[in-house]
Amino acid sequence: MGKRDILHLLEIDHRVIEEYLNTAVNGKTRVLQEQALVDLHEEIEAHSAAEEAVVYPKLEERSKLRRMLITARKEHREQQELLEELEMRQPGDEGWDQILDELRIAIEHHFGDEECRLYPCARQLLGGKELFAMGRKYTLEKLGDIHSTLD
């Protein structure tokens, strides 16, 4: 599909989040790790909110995906909780590495489920025009969420 296909946009977001996570884990300085964590939190928050507002409701109309979407929302909440725990610590503090590793595992699992199971089902169920329209709506929703976190 095209560049604004919702599933393509979501996968791009996943790669950006993985880059922030990689820098949070492997950043050469504490400052780089802390900034990566801030960026990671903002990106996950905007991505999750837009995904839940635009994508999940459309897919919930298909009963066979409901259980997968319930799990996906739960995983979003778990990621948010881990990010909040990390924000209360500094790189190198006790527990930092363990929480960051839990977050990495949670994100990798979540993205794997979405990209290997949910997105292929979505592509089969929704037409190209609908995926494109959802991509536009998702972009606007995500931008609105990012702007609200900057205020």
Domain count, the chain: 1
Residue 66: the pLDDT is 87
pLDDT tens, position by position, for the chain (151 residues)? 446 899 999 999 999 999 999 999 998 888 998 899 999 999 999 999 889 988 898 888 876 788 899 999 999 999 999 999 998 988 888 998 999 999 999 999 999 999 999 999 988 888 889 999 999 998 888 877 655 554 5
Give Dmax over CA atoms of the chain in angstroms.
50
In this prediction, residue 149 carries a pLDDT of 53
CA distance 137 to 4: 10
Whether residue 86 lies inside any domain: the answer is yes
3-state secondary structure of 110: helix
Cα 94 to Cα 92: distance, rounded to the nearest angstrom: 7
1 in a domain, yes or no? no
Residue-wise pLDDT tens digits, 14-58: 999 999 999 999 988 889 988 999 999 999 999 998 899 888 988
Quote the pLDDT of residue 147.
Answer: 53
| Contact status, residue 86 vs residue 103, Cβ threshold 8 Å | yes
88: DSSP letter: T
The residue range of the domain holding 121 is 6-150
d(CA 121, CA 113): 11
pLDDT at 61: 80
Q: In this structure, is residue 54 part of a structural domain?
A: yes
pTM: 0.87
Is 129 part of a structural domain of the chain?
A: yes
Q: Look at residue 20 and tell me if it is in a domain.
A: yes
